[in-house]
């Protein structure tokens, strides 16, 4: 039987968290679990999470730290890492049932929320790039077999690009299973900063990371000093 532990790292997401977690809970089966890891929210996010989650954990802030804490407490044979601004549907959970027996990890295609045509283009390019490179981002709902994740030692302890680092390590073992049901994720970072500004920023950060620059410095440039 396929059992899934969905792990959601949270930090001050109260404005949308109830809707997100409700969608996760509707998508999951009775044998699955929803683990929310709060990184020190001050807006009541942890209290909201208790209404939906199987377990609510508390950890220092940082997606890698929080997701590793959730994985350590998980019981499912698949770990599914979902951002707090993504929406799950039962079709996504059903797709996991169709994975081949030798599957080790994978991700979903994405669709950005909002009606701007550029969001469709950006999401399409994200999906194509991921299929070509075998690298996945957190927006794509990375899933990995529990034992494979443990053997790797989890997400590397870095403040940014932890998803790139994990999928790079996983790609050395196997190409990702790229599932078609599109996972809707928020377009808020493109809306807040502007589409072209955000696209240019993300490409520059990935280039600098590929060149070996310290993720701590990249984190400062992305989130502000």
Domain 4-188, second-level architecture = Alpha-Beta Complex (3.90)
Write the DSSP assignment of 35-62 as a string of letters.
Answer: EEEES--SSSHHHHHTTT-SEEEE--S-
**Cβ neighbours of 202 (radius 10 Å):** 17
Rounded Cα–Cα distance for residues 101 and 103 (Å): 6
- What are the pLDDT digits (tens) for 87-105? 999 999 999 999 999 999 9
Mean pLDDT of 153-162: 96
Does 1 score more than 80 pLDDT?
A: no
Mean pLDDT of 23-33: 96
Residue 115: predicted pLDDT: 85
Q: How far separated are the first and last CA of the chain, in Å rounded?
A: 46
Average pLDDT for residues 30-56, to the nearest whole number?
A: 97
Mean pLDDT of 48-71: 97
Residue 206 has pLDDT above 80, yes or no: yes
Q: Which has the closest alpha carbon to 21: 45, 53, 44, 47?
A: 53
Is the per-residue pLDDT at 225 higher than 70?
no
φ, ψ for residue 101 (rounded to 5)? -60, -25
pLDDT at 191: 86
pLDDT of residue 144: 98
* Segments of the chain assigned E as strands: 4-10, 33-38, 55-58, 78-81, 86-87, 105-112, 143-145, 177-185
Domain positions in the chain are 4-188
Tens digit of each residue's pLDDT (9 = 90 or more) over 178-201:
999 999 999 988 888 888 999 899
Please write the tens of the pLDDT for every residue from 107-133. Answer: 999 999 988 899 999 999 999 999 999
């Amino acid at each position: 039987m396929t059992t899934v532990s969905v792990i959601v790292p949270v930090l001050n997401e109260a404005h949308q968290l109830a809707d997100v977690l409700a969608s996760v809970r509707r998508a999951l089966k009775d044998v699955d679990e929803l683990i929310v890891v709060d990184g020190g929210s001050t807006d009541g996010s942890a209290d909201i999470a208790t209404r939906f989650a199987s377990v609510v954990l508390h950890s220092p802030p940082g997606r890698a730290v929080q997701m590793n804490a959730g994985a350590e407490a998980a019981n499912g044979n698949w770990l599914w890492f979902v951002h707090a601004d993504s929406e799950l549907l039962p079709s996504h959970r059903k797709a996991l049932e169709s994975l081949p027996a030798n599957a080790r990890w994978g991700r979903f295609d994405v669709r950005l929320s909002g009606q701007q045509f550029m969001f469709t283009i950006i999401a399409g390019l994200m999906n194509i790039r991921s299929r070509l490179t075998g690298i996945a981002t957190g927006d794509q709902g990375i899933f990995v077999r529990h034992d494979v994740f443990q053997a790797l030692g989890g997400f590397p302890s870095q403040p940014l690009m932890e998803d790139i680092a994990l999928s790079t390590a996983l790609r050395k073992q196997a190409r990702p299973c790229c599932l078609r049901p599109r996972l809707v994720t928020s377009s808020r970072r493109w809306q807040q900063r502007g589409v072209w500004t955000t696209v240019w920023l993300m490409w520059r950060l990935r280039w600098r990371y590929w060149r070996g620059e310290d993720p701590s410095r990249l984190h400062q440039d992305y989130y502000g000093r």
